[in-house]
Structure 1
Amino acid sequence: MDAIRSQAPETPAAAQRTARAAGAWFVLTFAFSIPAVLLYDPVLNDADYIAGAGADTRVRLGALLEILTAVANIATAVVLFPILKRQSESVALGYVALRIVESTVIVLGIAAVLAVVALRQDLAAGADADAALIGQALVALKDQTFLLGPAFCAGFGNGLLLGYLMYRSGLVPRPMALIGLVGGPAACATAAAVLFGAYGQQSAVNLLFTAPEIVWEASLGIWLLTKGFRPVPLITGAPPGAAQDR
Structure 2
Amino acid sequence: MATYRRPGALAGAMYLLTHVTSVGAVVLYGTMLTDEAWGEGGGSALPQQLGALLDVVLAVAIVGTAVALYPHVRRRSQTGAIAYVGLRTLEAGVAAVGAVMVMAAVQMRDVGQADVAAGLVETYTWAFFVGPGLVVGVHTVVLAAVLRRHALVPQWITWLGLVGAPLVTASNLLIFFGLQDQVSVTASLAAVPIFAWEISLALFLILKGLRLRAPDADAQEVAAPGGPVASRV
TM-score (norm. length: structure 1): 0.84
Distance 2:100 2:56 in 1: 10
* AA at the equivalent of 1:225: I
- Give CA deviations for 1:36-84 in whole Å, capped at 9, x if unaligned: 1100112112222222123310110011111101100000001100010
Distance 1:54 1:184 in 2: 40
Instruction: Tell me by how many angstroms 1:183 deviates.
Output: 0.8
Partner of 1:225: 206
- Give CA deviations for 1:10-60 in whole Å, capped at 9, x if unaligned: xx77x3211111111111111211111100112112222222123310110
Distance 2:89 2:40 in 1: 35
Q: How does 1:101-120 map to 2 (within 5 A)?
A: 101-120=90-109
- Is 1:151 equivalent to 2:129 in the alignment? no
Partner of 2:114: 132
| One of 84, 96, 103 as aligned partner of 2:85 | 96
Q: How does 1:1-246 map to 2 (within 5 A)?
A: 15-121=4-110, 123=111, 127=112, 131-157=113-139, 159-230=140-211, 232-233=212-213, 236-239=214-217
Distance 1:57 1:171 in 2: 43
Q: Is the 8 A contact 1:187 1:213 kept in 2?
A: yes
Distance 1:177 1:20 in 2: 17
SS of residue in 1 equivalent to 2:42: coil
Q: Is the 8 A contact 1:105 1:148 kept in 2?
A: no
Relative distance call for 1:139 and 1:63 in structure 2 (3 A) is same
* AA at the equivalent of 2:181: G
Distance 2:35 2:216 in 1: 59
Structure 1's unaligned 5+ residue stretches are 1-11, 241-246
- Give CA deviations for 1:166-203 in whole Å, capped at 9, x if unaligned: 11121110111111011112111111111101111111
Q: Is the 8 A contact 2:105 2:120 kept in 1?
A: yes
Distance 1:36 1:78 in 2: 23
TM-score (norm. length: structure 2): 0.88
Instruction: Tell me by how many angstroms 1:140 deviates.
Output: 1.1
Q: Is the 8 A contact 2:8 2:69 kept in 1?
A: yes
Aligned alpha-carbon RMSD (Å): 1.5
Structure 2's unaligned 5+ residue stretches are 219-233
Instruction: Tell me by how many angstroms 1:147 deviates.
Output: 1.0
Q: Is the 8 A contact 1:180 1:216 kept in 2?
A: yes
